[in-house]
Amino acid sequence: MTAGTVTSTLRLGTRGSELARTQSQTIADAITAATGTPVELVHIVTEGDRSAEAIARLGGTGVFVAAIRRALLEGSVDLAVHSYKDLPTAAEPGLIIAAVPGRADPRDALVARDGLTLGELPAGSKIGTGAPRRVAQLRALGLGLDVVPIRGNVDTRLARVAPGDLDAVVLARAGLARLGRLDAITETLDPLQVLPAPAQGALAVECRTSDARTRELLGRLEEPTVRACVIAERSTLAALEAGCSAPVAAYAEVADGENGPELFLRASVTAIDGSDAVRGSATGPLLEAAALGRALATELLDRGAAELMAVGS
């Protein structure tokens, strides 16, 4: 440890779910490895953890994020780790995303009975997922599948596959990877079939804007190219004025352009019944990620995206 290193323990607020704790511990270990600073996990019980009714009433993951952010603002914890795709697109006053670390595989994954792939599931098979985006895109494939919305943590969803009441479920591959459940996957879905959610697979490490010491420590975990990709994707979502539960997909990759690295951004909006969709793509410099996302959203709106988001809502 170098002279002058500050070693007072950082308190990391986390929900008690296995995935939340695993993600938080991964970041805690990375902070300690990079800075020599010990990190303590502080479990926070949220309204969403107390009541399934709260999730339905208040709308998805917001009931989890709000309690963690409140603890941050009150000073009872120093930082928090979020699945980036779960965060509202609007900034939270007093808080800052101080680091976007390396991203896990952002694709969706199928877990099906008998090792089947999506194309091998017979028409009428019941396939469960918790995301309207996935519901819409799976229906749009025209495979004759019975796509049903489900809730619950990863293990709860996996347990519903045969001999449960479902033939398959679709989840984020990143969550399965972080929990060591990759062996359950029967197919990783090609983004050409099912485009990921904005920021899927990415983590957001958040702290108070005024906490210069924690901001500096967390900044050592930053992956600038990942942040650029996520900014492009979430700017698309924000410009569409859609939340994380809308049937909006966006995925950015870094590719070699004529003048160096550039972003290749794809996005889609799909009617929840799968009857129609608009898709588009755009390329641009990494430093113009937000503008790229907004421009692609404008194109999608010009082609009827708002009307599609209203179908079945």
Residues 30-79 have pLDDT tens digits of: 999 999 999 999 999 866 555 554 344 445 556 678 899 999 999 999 99
Interatomic CA distance for residues 144 and 289, integer angstroms: 37
- Report yes or no: 110 and 185 within 8 Å, Cβ to Cβ: yes
* Residue 276 φ/ψ region, left for φ over 0, alpha for ψ in the -120 to 50 degree band, beta for the rest: beta
Start-end ranges of CATH 3.40.190.10 in the chain? Answer: 10-101+202-222, 108-188
Pick 229-310's CATH classification: 3.40.50.150, 3.30.160.40, 3.90.550.10, 3.30.70.100. Answer: 3.30.160.40
Confidence label for 211 from pLDDT (cuts 50, 70 and 90):
very high
Whether residue 134 is predicted with pLDDT greater than 50 in this model: the reply is yes
The predicted model scores a pTM of 0.90
Residues 6+ apart with CB under 8 A from 271: 136, 140, 247, 277, 308, 311, 312
* For residue 4, pLDDT beyond 50: no
- Average pLDDT of the chain? 90
Q: Using the predicted structure, report yes or no on whether residue 174 has a pLDDT greater than 70.
A: yes
CATH number, domain 108-188? 3.40.190.10
Residue 243: what pLDDT? Answer: 64
- The C-alpha angle with vertex 184 and arms to 84 and 124, in degrees rounded to 5, equals 95
Is the pLDDT at 142 greater than 80? The verdict is yes
- Number of alpha carbons in the 13 Å side-chain half-sphere of residue 302: 7
pLDDT of residue 16: 87
The stretch 137-154 carries a mean pLDDT of: 92
CATH number for the domain running over 10-101+202-222: 3.40.190.10
DSSP character for 129?
Answer: E
Residue 57's SS3 state is helix
Indicate if the pLDDT at residue 126 is higher than 70: yes
Please tell me whether residue 265 adopts helix, strand or coil conformation.
Answer: strand
Closest CA to 174 of 161, 185, 166, 164: 185
CA distance 144 to 82: 35
Of the residues 86, 105, 146, 276, which is catalytic?
A: 86
Min mean pLDDT across 130-139, 179-188, 240-249 is at: 240-249
Instruction: Tell me if 289 sits within 8 A of 232, measured CB to CB.
Output: yes
C-alpha distances out from residue 200 to 79, 84, 291, Å: 21, 7, 20
With 70 as the cut, is the pLDDT of residue 217 above it? yes
Q: Which residues contact 31 (CB under 8 A, 6 or more apart)?
A: 10, 37, 39, 217, 218, 220, 221
Classified as helix, coil or strand, 243 is coil
pLDDT of residue 2: 43
Residue 279: burial class (beta carbons within 10 Å; 0-12, 13-18, 19+): middle
* Token duo for residue 75: 């000073």
CATH 3.30.160.40 residue spans of the chain: 229-310
Q: Is 108 a catalytic residue?
A: no
Residue 207 pLDDT greater than 90, yes or no: yes
